[in-house]
Amino acid sequence: INVILKRGKIILAKDLDKKELMGLCMFHKSEYWFSKHQLMNIHVLYVRKQYRTYNLVKVIVDSVKNVSEGLPILLSISTGIHKDPVFERLGFENMGSNWRLL
């Protein structure tokens, strides 16, 4: 969180009628671990269940694109929820898998 607060950005999506937080995105500029090429790294992308629509996620991702200065955007999915078609529709490529030991 300190890295995000010092070097990153936070996008908050709010329902102005209900005065409720709909979702958020926390991201910052970083480098690939294997090179000095820069990228925009999304650490958190969360939308509350009742607001989960493609259009809201698209608006949030487009907001990241608007400040990414043309850098590639990296988003790691580390939940058991499989939403690959949504991210493919947004233009993301599957670059591998995350593994966890239970």
Block means of pLDDT (10 residues each) for the chain, 102 residues, are: 90 95 95 89 93 94 94 80 77 70 52
Q: For position 76, what pLDDT does the model report?
A: 79
d(Cα 47, Cα 67) in Å, to the nearest integer? 20
Asked if residue 43 lies in contact with residue 19, where contact means CB atoms within 8 angstroms, the answer is no
**pLDDT on residue 99:** 60
User: Encoding tokens for residue 11?
Assistant: 């996008």
pTM exceeds 0.85 for this model? no
The β-bridge relationship of strands 20-31 and 73-75 is unpaired
Q: Token pair of 102, please?
A: 């239970």
Is-contact 42 25, C-beta < 8 A?
A: yes
